[in-house]
Amino acid sequence: MKNSPSDIIEVAIPLPLDTTFLYRVPVELMPRTELGKRVLVPFGRRRVTGYVLGFATGEERELREVCDVLDDTPLFTRKELELYRWASSYYLHPLGEVIKAALPAGINVQSRRADANGDGDALTGGKQVKTEPVYGPAAAPPAVDAPRGKASLILDHLRQAEETTAAELRGIFGDCSLQLRRLRELGLVEVEAREIYRDPFRDETVTPDSPLALNAGQSEARDRIVDAIDTGRFAPFLLHGVTGSGKTEVYLQTIAHLLNKERTALVLVPEIALTPQLVNRFRRRFRCGIAVLHSGLSDGERYDEWRRIRRGEVSIVIGARSAIFAPLERIGMIVVDEEHEASYKQSEGFRYNARDLALVRGKMEHACVVLGTATPQVTTWHAATTGKLALLSLPDRVNGLPMPHVEVIDARGHKGEAILPPLVEGIDANLAGGGQTLVFLNRRGFATWLTCEECGHVLRCPNCAVTLTYHQRRNRHVCHYCDYAIPAPSVCPECGSTQVTHLGLGTERIEELVRERFPEARVDRMDRDTTRGKGGHARILRKVAERKTDILIGTQMVAKGHDFPGITLVGIVSVESTLNIPDYRSAERTYQLITQLMGRAGRGLDAGKVIIQTFNPDHYALTHAGTGLLEKFYTTELAFRQETGYPPFVHLAALCLTGTAAPSVEQESAVLAGHLRTLRRELSSRVEILGPSPAPLTKLRGRFRWQTLLKAPERPALHRLLAALRSSYAPPSGIRLQVDVDPVDL
Ligand code: ADP
Ligand code: ZN
Ligand code: ZN
C-alpha cells in the first residue's frame, strides 16, 4: 500500500471472504476515490458495494474496473481502518464484514434523495433514514387550471406557507393524500423527503451542575487518571468500587480535564444502564456536544448521531457495545463502565468484545482506558494484581451506608419448598417495617442439570470441572466442553438419596407463591414477559420508586443498573441456576450477581439484608460474597482456574458448526476435530483440542450446533492454529463454521 494515488485500489467486500480485492479506477472516478469511501464494483456476475482500503501499485494483472464511487466524504479514517484490521485478524472475521458492522446501518441511504410519493416512508431499498415529506408550491407553475375544492385550499395554503410537512397538512385538512397526488400530477406542488434530525433525549430538560467535592478515594483516583492524561500515553486502569461509591463522578471530573486539553471521551455502558438519567448527568456537567448511541435508536437516529460524531461536532460519545467503533477523533479516554457485563460481547456474526477492543483502541489512540466495576471479571482482577492494569479503589459508598448483611440459608432437605421459612420471616418483618422486598430468581439457565435435594451434589465433568447437562434424547448427562457422558443416575452418587431432581422454577410460580403467602402485599413482577411492551420497564420501576410495590419479583434484569432506594431486603431463591450453569465461570457469575444484588439493597436510609437460599451453603462464591471478602474470593477462584486450566491461565476459542441436519453436523464436527488434531501435530502446537460435543444450545433457530473447544497456553499458539485452519478447511455446503475467540457463553 502506498500513500500516493495510483489507479489501483484495495477493496474489502462485506461477504464471508478472507481476502481483499484489487480494482482499477477509471480516470473519471479518480478525483473522487479515497480511503474510507464505498465503491460499487463488479464481483462475479454481480455488482457489490465495497470499502476502499487504500491505493496499491505495481500490479500487472488485468483488473476489473470500479463502477462508481458512492460517498462524497470518507466513512472511516486510516486510524479507524487500523482498528478494523486488528479486529478482523484477532477475531478471524472478514474485514469487509467488520467494517460493515462498525458503520451504522442507516448509512446505506446516505445522500440518496427520496422519491417522496405521499406521506408514508418514502425510501425504498436499504435501511431507512427517517424522513418526512415536505410540500411546497411548484417554482414555476405550468399553465393549467387550478383545481377546485379541497385541493385549491391546500394549494393556497402551500403558496402562503412556502413549505409544509405532511403531518401539518393532515392537521389542517384531514386526509388529503388524494388531493396532493392530483396536485403533484398537475405539477402545481413539489414534494421532497427531508431527513429529520432525531434527538432521542430532546424532551429532557437539563439544569447545569458543577463538580462535587471529592472524597479521599475519589480524589486519588482522579489525580492518578489526570496524571496519565497529562503524559499523553496509553494507560489502562481498573476503577473498582461498589455501586454508589462515586465512580461516575470520577469519570465526569477526569473527562472535564481531558476536554480542556482538546481531547475527546468515549464512554461505554451496558445497554440497560444507558438511561436518560445517566445521559443527563453528562449533559448537566458539560456544555460540549454529546452523542448517544444505543440499540433503542432507529437506524436513522443512530445514523444521525454517527454523522454528528464524524463531523467532529461532539466531544463525548456515550453508547453501548457498538459505540466502540464511533468515529470519534482525538480520543483521550475510553471508559468501560460495568466492565464485567456480558453484553459487551457481540454474540452473533462478528463476535467482538467491546471491553477488550477498548484497550486495543486506547493503545492506538494513546489514551487512558478506565474499566469501572464493583465486580471485576476474574481475568481483570488478575491483570490488576499483576500490574497490567493500575488498580484504583473506591472502598465506600459515598453516602456512608454500610453494605447489606448477607445470610446464607441451607435449602438441603427441604424438598419442594420454593420459599423457606427464614425468607418468609424476613419478608414479613420487612413488610411490617415498611420496607420493600426484591425476590430474585435467575432464569437464564437453558440447560438442565441434576441436583440432589438431600446433599446438594451436582454432576460435574471430571476433565473440565463444569456441570454436566442432561440430554433427553441420549438419556445421558453430557459435558459440552469435551463430550464426556454418563447415563442418567436414579440415585445421588454422593449420598444415595433418591431425591434427585432437575431444578427449575419460573418467576410466575414464585409470584403465585408470594401472593399466596403475603395476600396483603402489593406484588409486581419484572422479567422479559412483563417488560415486553415499550415503557413496560419504566412503568414497573416507577411503581417501585413511588412505593406502590411492596414485593418485586425479578430476574437478572433487576440486578443491573437500576436504583431501588426503598428496597431493604433481597431474597435470592434459586442461586443454583447461576452456580450450576455448565460454564467454567459459574462461580464468578454467582459472586458478581450476589454483589450486584447487594448493591440494590438498602441504598435508601436503612441498611439492607440479603438472604440466599441454596443447596451449596459452603460454596466460596456465596461465603465470600460481600466486599470485605473480595480478595479471598478472587484468590480461591484463580487457584481453581489455574488448576483446571481456564482463563487467565489459558486462552480459549470455540469453533461451532451449525446445520439443519443433525447427523451431518455431528459427522462434520468429527471431521473438523480430526483435521485440527492433524494440524496440531504438524505445527507441534501445544493447543489442547476438546470435543467435539453438542453445544449448550444444541439447536438454535432450526440449526443444530456442535462445538470444539481450543485451549491454548499462550495467544500466539492459538492464533497460529486458527490461521492454519482458515487456510486449509471449509465446511461443506449447508454447514457453517463460527469462530468465537475468547468466548463468553460457552
Ligand atoms: P457510582 O457510579 O459508583 O455508582 P456515582 O458517581 O453515581 O457512583 O455516585 C453515587 C451518588 O453519590 C450520586 O448521586 C452522586 O451524585 C453522589 N456523589 C458522588 N460523589 C460524591 C461526592 N464526592 N460528594 C457527594 N456526593 C457524591
Ligand atoms: Zn446427595
Ligand atoms: Zn469435560
pLDDT of residue 196: 52
Q: Which of 477, 488, 503, 487 is nearest to 693 (CA)?
A: 477
pLDDT at 121 > cutoff 60: no
Amino acid (one-letter) located at 350: F
pLDDT at 435 > cutoff 50: yes
pLDDT of residue 709: 96
Average pLDDT of the chain is 86
Give yes or no for a contact between 532 and 505, defined as CB atoms under 8 angstroms apart: no
pLDDT of residue 325: 98
pLDDT of residue 582: 83
Query: Ligand 1: which of 239, 249, 600 to mutate, judged by most atoms within 8 Å of the beta carbon?
Result: 249
Q: CA separation (Å) from 483 to 254, 469, 583, 675? A: 49, 10, 14, 18
* 243 C-alpha to ligand 1 centroid (Å): 9
Q: Which atom of ligand 1 is nearest to the CA of 241?
A: 3
Which DSSP symbol is given to 706? E
Give yes or no for a contact between 501 and 450, defined as CB atoms under 8 angstroms apart: yes
* Ligand that comes closest to the CA of residue 496: 2
Q: Could you give the CA distance from residue 722 to residue 19 in angstroms, rounded to a whole number?
A: 16
Q: Radius of gyration (Cα) for the chain, nearest Å? A: 29
Q: Which atom of ligand 1 is nearest to the CA of 214?
A: 23
Asked whether 273 lines ligand 1 (CB < 6 A), one says: no
pLDDT of residue 606: 60
Average pLDDT (591-603) is 81
* Chain segment 221-268, per-residue pLDDT in tens: 999 999 999 999 999 999 999 888 999 999 999 999 999 999 999 999
Q: CA separation (Å) from 343 to 82, 440, 745? A: 24, 20, 11
Sign of the CA dihedral 440, 446, 447, 449? positive
* Ligand that comes closest to the CA of residue 338: 1
Asked whether 245 lines ligand 1 (CB < 6 A), one says: yes
* 487 C-alpha to ligand 3 centroid (Å): 15
Express as a percent the part of the chain with pLDDT over 70: 88
pLDDT of residue 626: 67
* 742 C-alpha to ligand 3 centroid (Å): 18
Which band of pLDDT confidence, cut at 50, 70 and 90, is reported for residue 185?
confident
pLDDT at 169 > cutoff 60: yes
pLDDT at 192 > cutoff 80: no
Q: Which atom of ligand 1 is nearest to the CA of 374?
A: 3
* 494 C-alpha to ligand 3 centroid (Å): 19
Q: Which of 367, 288, 291 is nearest to 334 (CA)?
A: 367
pLDDT of residue 193: 65
* 40 C-alpha to ligand 1 centroid (Å): 51
As to burial, measured by CB atoms within 10 angstroms (0-12 exposed, 13-18 middle, 19+ buried), residue 389 is buried
* 465 C-alpha to ligand 3 centroid (Å): 7
pLDDT of residue 409: 92
> Is 368 annotated as contributing to ligand binding?
no
> Is 492 annotated as contributing to ligand binding?
yes
Residue with cell 441420549: 474
* Ligand that comes closest to the CA of residue 497: 2
> Is 288 annotated as contributing to ligand binding?
no
* 247 C-alpha to ligand 1 centroid (Å): 7
Which band of pLDDT confidence, cut at 50, 70 and 90, is reported for residue 682?
very high
Which band of pLDDT confidence, cut at 50, 70 and 90, is reported for residue 174?
confident
Strands 651-659 vs 551-554: parallel, antiparallel or unpaired: unpaired
Average pLDDT (155-183) is 77
Strands 38-43 vs 68-69: parallel, antiparallel or unpaired: antiparallel
Q: Which of 470, 459, 407, 443 is nearest to 614 (CA)?
A: 407
CA 48 to chain CA mean position, Å: 29
| DSSP-derived 3-state class of residue 245 | coil
Asked whether 246 lines ligand 1 (CB < 6 A), one says: yes
pLDDT at 118 > cutoff 50: no
* Ligand that comes closest to the CA of residue 494: 2
Asked whether 218 lines ligand 1 (CB < 6 A), one says: yes
Residue bearing the CA closest to ligand 1, atom 11 = 244
pLDDT of residue 202: 54
pLDDT at 181 > cutoff 60: yes
Which band of pLDDT confidence, cut at 50, 70 and 90, is reported for residue 145?
low
* 191 C-alpha to ligand 2 centroid (Å): 75
As to burial, measured by CB atoms within 10 angstroms (0-12 exposed, 13-18 middle, 19+ buried), residue 193 is buried
Q: Which atom of ligand 1 is nearest to the CA of 215?
A: 23
Asked whether 373 lines ligand 1 (CB < 6 A), one says: no
Residue bearing the CA closest to ligand 1, atom 6 = 246
Give yes or no for a contact between 281 and 253, defined as CB atoms under 8 angstroms apart: no
pLDDT of residue 677: 97
Average pLDDT (621-625) is 88
As to burial, measured by CB atoms within 10 angstroms (0-12 exposed, 13-18 middle, 19+ buried), residue 317 is buried
pLDDT of residue 201: 53
Average pLDDT (690-701) is 85
**Residue 422, preceding bond cis, omega within 30 degrees?**
no
Asked whether 244 lines ligand 1 (CB < 6 A), one says: yes
Amino acid (one-letter) located at 76: F
Q: Could you give the CA distance from residue 690 to residue 652 in angstroms, rounded to a whole number?
A: 11
* 281 C-alpha to ligand 1 centroid (Å): 11
Q: Could you give the CA distance from residue 141 to residue 84 in angstroms, rounded to a whole number?
A: 52
Asked whether 700 lines ligand 1 (CB < 6 A), one says: no
> Is 656 annotated as contributing to ligand binding?
no
Q: Could you list which residues have their CB under 5 Å from ion ligand 2?
A: 452, 454-455, 457, 492, 494-495, 497
Residue bearing the CA closest to ligand 1, atom 20 = 246
pLDDT of residue 2: 44
Asked whether 561 lines ligand 1 (CB < 6 A), one says: no
Asked whether 338 lines ligand 1 (CB < 6 A), one says: no
Residue bearing the CA closest to ligand 1, atom 10 = 244
Q: Which atom of ligand 1 is nearest to the CA of 245?
A: 3
> What is the interface pTM, i.e. ipTM, of the complex?
0.97
* Chain segment 547-561, per-residue pLDDT in tens: 999 999 988 777 765
Residue with cell 460454596: 619
Q: Which of 617, 574, 567, 572 is nearest to 595 (CA)?
A: 572
pLDDT at 407 > cutoff 60: yes
* Chain segment 215-228, per-residue pLDDT in tens: 999 999 999 999 99
Asked whether 599 lines ligand 1 (CB < 6 A), one says: no
pLDDT of residue 560: 67
Query: What are 394's three cell numbers?
Result: 473506591
* 500 C-alpha to ligand 2 centroid (Å): 7
> Is 67 annotated as contributing to ligand binding?
no
How many CA atoms within 13 Å lie on the side-chain side of 473? 4
Asked whether 574 lines ligand 1 (CB < 6 A), one says: no
* Chain segment 341-386, per-residue pLDDT in tens: 999 999 889 999 999 999 999 999 999 999 999 999 999 999 999 9
* 661 C-alpha to ligand 2 centroid (Å): 38
Query: Ligand 1: which of 340, 392, 398, 401 to mutate, judged by most atoms within 8 Å of the beta carbon?
Result: 398
Give yes or no for a contact between 727 and 564, defined as CB atoms under 8 angstroms apart: no
* Ligand that comes closest to the CA of residue 690: 3
pLDDT of residue 602: 65
Strands 390-394 vs 235-241: parallel, antiparallel or unpaired: parallel
* 237 C-alpha to ligand 1 centroid (Å): 19
- Listing DSSP states for 596-623 in one string gives HHHHHTT-SSS--EEEEEES-TT-HHHH
Residue 112 CB partners (closer than 8 Å, separation 6+) = 123, 126
pLDDT at 126 > cutoff 50: no
* 499 C-alpha to ligand 2 centroid (Å): 8
pLDDT at 490 > cutoff 90: no
Residue bearing the CA closest to ligand 1, atom 19 = 246
β partners of residue 360: none
Q: Could you give the CA distance from residue 556 to residue 707 in angstroms, rounded to a whole number?
A: 27
* Chain segment 495-510, per-residue pLDDT in tens: 998 887 765 566 777 8
Give yes or no for a contact between 452 and 492, defined as CB atoms under 8 angstroms apart: yes
* Ligand that comes closest to the CA of residue 468: 3
pLDDT of residue 531: 77
CA 522 to chain CA mean position, Å: 34
| DSSP-derived 3-state class of residue 34 | coil
3-state secondary structure 388-424: CCEEEEECCCCCCCCCCEEEEEECCCCCCCCCCHHHH
Average pLDDT (679-702) is 90
Which band of pLDDT confidence, cut at 50, 70 and 90, is reported for residue 199?
low
pTM (two decimals): 0.83
Q: Could you give the CA distance from residue 269 to residue 295 in angstroms, rounded to a whole number?
A: 12
Q: Angle 29-113-328 (CA atoms, 0-180°, nearest 5)? A: 70
| DSSP-derived 3-state class of residue 69 | strand
Residue 229 CB partners (closer than 8 Å, separation 6+) = 254, 257, 258, 261, 263, 332, 333, 368
Asked whether 214 lines ligand 1 (CB < 6 A), one says: yes
pLDDT at 526 > cutoff 90: no
As to burial, measured by CB atoms within 10 angstroms (0-12 exposed, 13-18 middle, 19+ buried), residue 149 is exposed
Greater pLDDT, 579 or 417: 579
Q: Could you give the CA distance from residue 146 to residue 684 in angstroms, rounded to a whole number?
A: 86
Asked whether 491 lines ligand 1 (CB < 6 A), one says: no
Residue 649 CB partners (closer than 8 Å, separation 6+) = 641, 642
pLDDT of residue 628: 67
Residue with cell 454500610: 402
Asked whether 280 lines ligand 1 (CB < 6 A), one says: no
Residue with cell 436504583: 563
Asked whether 596 lines ligand 1 (CB < 6 A), one says: no
* Chain segment 13-47, per-residue pLDDT in tens: 999 888 999 999 999 999 999 999 999 999 999 99
Q: CA separation (Å) from 12 to 7, 22, 66? A: 16, 9, 13
Average pLDDT (290-315) is 92
pLDDT of residue 138: 61
